Structure 1
């Protein structure tokens, strides 16, 4: 898989960051969701899947990609 950097809402080079893949998907870099209540609400979680939290404004970099 190849990644293309789309943008970040971080001024110091840390997460959150959004990437586009050559497979027609996105990869997000953000804080891992660890809240037990939030994790309990997730559905159909498959082995190997994980979840990161990103701010809504990060998705502006995906528009028109």
Structure 2
């Protein structure tokens, strides 16, 4: 899979980030919330992404 960074909230590699793939999908990097109260299947996960990051990606016509 080929991955391209679209938007990030900082210059480090440990910040919420949005990537696109050559498969026509998005990948998101962010913190794993533990207080959500949801039941998530073992093969899936949740990540918490600041709304500002999505707003930046949309404003910059990246997604």
SS state of the match for residue 33, structure 1? coil
- Runs of 4+ in structure 1 deviating by more than 2 angstroms, as ranges, are 62-65
Whichever structure has more strand as a proportion of its residues is: 1
The separation in 2 between residues aligned to 1:48 and 1:15, in whole angstroms, is 23
Q: Deviations over 1:2-37 (max 9, x none)?
A: 1101121124x12111101111111111001211xx
The separation in 2 between residues aligned to 1:50 and 1:18, in whole angstroms, is 16
How far apart are residue 64 of structure 1 and its match? 3.0
TM-score (norm 2): 0.72
Q: Deviations over 1:17-63 (max 9, x none)?
A: 1101111111111001211xx242x6xx4441111001011113256
1:56 to 38, 51, 58: 51
Q: CA RMSD in A?
A: 2.0
For structure 2, the residue ranges without an aligned partner over 5 or more in a row are: none
TM-score (norm 1): 0.71
